[in-house]
Amino acid sequence: MVLLMPKIGLAEESSEDKRMEAQAYYAIGSRYYKQGGAQNYATALEWYEKAAILGHVKAQFDIGYMFYKGQGVIPDNMKAVEWYRESAANGYTAAQYRIGVMYKDGIGVPQDYVKAHMWFNVAAAAGSSSAARYRDSVAKRMTPSQIAVAQRMASECQSSE
C-alpha cells in the first residue's frame, strides 16, 4: 500500500519534485500493467494518467498504446493518436515513430503521407533507424513538393522542441 503524504509548507513544487512524483506514479502504474488483466490495466491507466498530467512522456505513450490495444479501455484509435501526439510533441522518439505509422496507415487519423514522413523524419533525426526506413518507404509514394513540405514541417517541429 502506498501512502502519498501531503506536502506541508511548500508554496510550490519544484520541477524536480514533479518529475519524481510523475516517476513514482509511473512506477506504480507499471506494476499493475505487468500483472495484466482488465482490472489491473484499468488501475495502471489511472496511475499512468497521473504521471502523464505531470509530463511523463513514457506514461503518455503507454496510455496511447493502451487505447490502441484496448487494454483496460475500449479500443479507441483516435484517443491513441491524441496520447501518442502528446508524447511525440514532448520529444519521445517511440511516440514520434508510432504517430508516423498511424498517419501512414490511416489509423485513428486520415491517411496522410506528408504528416507520416514528417514524424518519421523527426524520429529518424533522434536516432530511430526504423523511422528512417519508413520515411524512405513513404517518400516513394510522395511528390517532391510533398517531401519538401514534410521536411519543412519536421524542421519546424525539431526547432520548437
Structural domains of the chain, with CATH: 16-90 (1.25.40.10), 93-161 (no CATH)
- Written as one letter, the residue type at 111 is Q
**What is the average pLDDT across 28-49?**
92
Q: What is the pLDDT of residue 23?
A: 96
Residue 37 has pLDDT above 50, yes or no: yes
Q: What is the pLDDT of residue 12?
A: 60
Do the Cβ atoms of 96 and 122 come closer than 8 Å? yes
Residue 11 has pLDDT above 80, yes or no: no
Across all residues in the chain, what is the average pLDDT? 91
Confidence class for position 157, pLDDT limits 50, 70, 90: confident
Confidence class for position 8, pLDDT limits 50, 70, 90: very low
Q: What is the pLDDT of residue 14?
A: 84
Q: Which residues contact 76 (CB under 8 A, 6 or more apart)?
A: 67, 70, 108
CA distance 138 to 132: 10
Do the Cβ atoms of 100 and 116 come closer than 8 Å? yes
Q: What is the pLDDT of residue 1?
A: 40
Digit-coded pLDDT (tens) for 86-144: 999 999 999 999 999 999 999 999 999 999 999 999 999 999 999 999 999 999 999 99
Residue 25 has pLDDT above 50, yes or no: yes
Do the Cβ atoms of 45 and 66 come closer than 8 Å? yes
Confidence class for position 161, pLDDT limits 50, 70, 90: low
